[in-house]
Amino acid sequence: MTKIVLSGFLGMLLVAFVSARTWTDKKGRKIEAEYLSQTKDTVLLKLKNGKEVSVPFSNLSRADLNFLIEAEIAAAKKGNDKETGDGEMEKKESDGKKDRGIVIEVADPAWERPVLREAVLKAPIEVQEEKRGEFLYFSSTNFRIVADGRMSSKAVLAILEVCELTKTYCESLPFGLSNRFKPVDGKYEIRSVGEKDEWVKMGRLEGSRSSFNPNNGQLEICLELFGLSSAGRGGEIATRNLAGQMILHVSRCMLPEVYERNFMDWFTEGFPNMMNMAVYEKGKLDFTNVAEETKDLLMGKGSGRTPIFKKKVEMPKISDLITQSVGGIAAEEGRRQFLAQSVLVMTYLTYLEDGGKATGLRQGLRYAHDFQKNQPKTITYKDQEDLKRQKAELKRLQEEMDDTAIAMMFRKRPWDEAEADIAKLWKEKGLELIFPGAKNE
């Protein structure tokens, strides 16, 4: 992957761009100008009459800032810039000193891939079994179960297979996903606890059934709390519920930190729960009918579960859903509804919008991904007042990035238009979504 070194405050980028374009300031005023150069907080433009003007980044529209990022990526891909010996590009300031700037990685071509509808294992899982002390280890290519007792081959295979499938599918998505599991001896470990009494002794909540600690990358499950025996034996529904929990946890591990931090739970809860709408079969995760599966689950059809909604789905404003957190909802039923609403939006963005190409979602997440790469790891400041000012500016730019990325995900349409489109496409699938009346955003 090519790396470019850029300079400027928080990624206000040097762009190898010479053709004229329309620039817009925050007051809506427009000028035709050619990009010339930049300092840490201004861009130098050349007007049609040959006059050069310096424009502060703070006056540029978000569209202009987005254009600078996209133009830099395009320029890097075309190889128009001169590379140094270590594969990085440098910009010299007017005083002749080299500024290594902030490193940004050019987005991988994988961002252009379409969203697949299924994941299929290339070969059957071959489980390797090993006993180490009081624990049994069951391993596949990328995952390892650490069990406190003997486990049935059916349970072992189901866990390892669905984990491998989820990892394979997530890595195929054009959203810049990467595994956040911390491997142990080259494999991602899942600790299996057979009995619920032992689970409670470990300090785990009895009703939790499973847990994942992102700090140490440890995933734990309790078989009995899934309705299985301590060895993992049980009915098909219990086994599928266990497989579904693996999909939830592994897909959460695939989300880059920038998505989790900036897009609240509508993404970090909605996406993993949408992943769980896949039909899991031996050696295969099938998303072909994900919309129908989502609709049936919410209406309680064929799942044996209490319906979350009846004939109509009462939706919040999309803008409210985006800023809401499931942790801020006290009632359990309210949390279930929030997750369901998030799944509806994520399924729309991933599979329904634009014929399933997920173009808007891809563009928004790519923008956030590239923008995040430009954030400085440390802040150099003169005094506390300078530190306070820089932190405030970082926060402001971060909020702008969030707003811009989310707008791109929804194709930069007004919220009422996006809501109308979501409702229209879900109605075609047999689910009526009711959004509240429009209000000033």
Rg (C-alpha) for the chain, rounded Å, is 25
Domain boundaries, the chain: 3-106, 112-254, 288-441
- What is the average per-residue pLDDT within 185-202? 90
CATH number of 3-106: 2.30.30.700
pLDDT digits (tens, 9 = 90+) for 214-253: 666 678 999 999 899 999 898 888 888 888 889 988 898 8
DSSP character string of 408-423: HHTTT--HHHHHHHHH
pLDDT digits (tens, 9 = 90+) for 359-384: 999 999 988 888 877 666 677 778 88
Q: Is 85 helix (H, G, I), strand (E, B) or coil?
A: coil
What is the per-residue pLDDT for 390? 82
Assess contact for 329 and 338: CB atoms under 8 A: yes
Distance (Å, rounded) from C-alpha 322 to C-alpha 415? 12
Fold adopted by 112-254: Glutaredoxin (3.40.30)
Distance (Å, rounded) from C-alpha 419 to C-alpha 415? 6
Q: Is 84 helix (H, G, I), strand (E, B) or coil?
A: coil
**Of residues 96, 87, 112, the one with CA closest to residue 4:** 87
pLDDT digits (tens, 9 = 90+) for 134-185: 999 999 999 999 999 999 998 999 999 999 999 999 999 999 888 777 788 8
